[in-house]
Amino acid sequence: MTYYKKMQPIIETERLVLREITVDDEEVMFKLHSNPLVQKYTGESVVESLEEMKKAIESRIIDYKKYGYGRWATTMKEGNQFVGWAGLAYLEEFDEIDLGYRFLPEFWGMGIATEVSRAILHYGFETLKLKRIVAIALEENKASFRVMEKVGMEFEKIAPYEIGSEDAIWYWCDKDLILKNKEN
């Protein structure tokens, strides 16, 4: 188990704290991204080295400064244990803002993805005043589709996520759609 000093939270839920990822997270992020189970449905290969992970973290730090949001380290409130990351990313090639998450397998099936996704959508629409958010998953990642639907997102299209990549399933939402689906 890895624990961290308390940092300024960006989002808090009943069980979780989301905060910026820092270079101090290099080892736990490597543990997450070097796990073949975690990477299985992402379309990304496993991270091979701490140096590769450090470069990825540095690009996330740039996103925080450039866009005012990014993927955030996610820790349990009780014990401050790292469970993975969740957050928003600007997809320049599509001019879209993507909701995404990745967690260590021992935290799968606990409702964490749904809990943080609801909080992130609320933050995106209420605090950041975003107009639209998408979420993208590979066709085999049925668990992510369930999360997207639970938080009020709707199917939009089947399309590649990257040029030359296999098709992915795209979901979308805006503030009005989330409110409408919350009432139903």
- Domains, the chain, in order of start with CATH, read 11-183 (3.40.630.30)
Q: How far is CA 61 from the centre of its chain?
A: 15
Per-residue confidence (pLDDT) for residue 117, from 0 to 100: 98
Q: Which of 30-44, 108-122, 148-162 has the highest mean pLDDT?
A: 108-122
For residue 42, name the pLDDT band (cuts at 50, 70, 90).
confident
How many Cβ atoms sit within 10 Å of the Cβ of residue 3? Answer: 11
**Please, are residues 53 and 26 in contact by the beta-carbon 8 Å criterion?**
yes
**149 Cβ contact partners less than 8 Å away, ≥ 6 residues apart:** 171
Residue-wise pLDDT tens digits, 133-175: 999 999 889 999 999 999 999 999 998 877 556 789 999 999 9
Is residue 1's pLDDT more than 50?
no
Dist. CA 121–CA 87, nearest whole Å? 9
Structure tokens at 131: 């107009």
Residue-wise pLDDT tens digits, 44-85: 889 999 999 999 999 889 999 999 999 999 999 999 999 999
For residue 179, name the pLDDT band (cuts at 50, 70, 90).
confident
Structure tokens at 173: 């939402």
Structure tokens at 153: 């997102």
Per-residue confidence (pLDDT) for residue 163, from 0 to 100: 57
Q: Order of strands, edge to edge, in the sheet holding 71-76?
A: 11-12, 16-20, 71-76, 82-91, 96-103, 133-138, 167-173, 154-160
Of the candidates 88, 74, 92, which has an alpha carbon nearest to the alpha carbon of residue 130? 88
For residue 7, name the pLDDT band (cuts at 50, 70, 90).
low
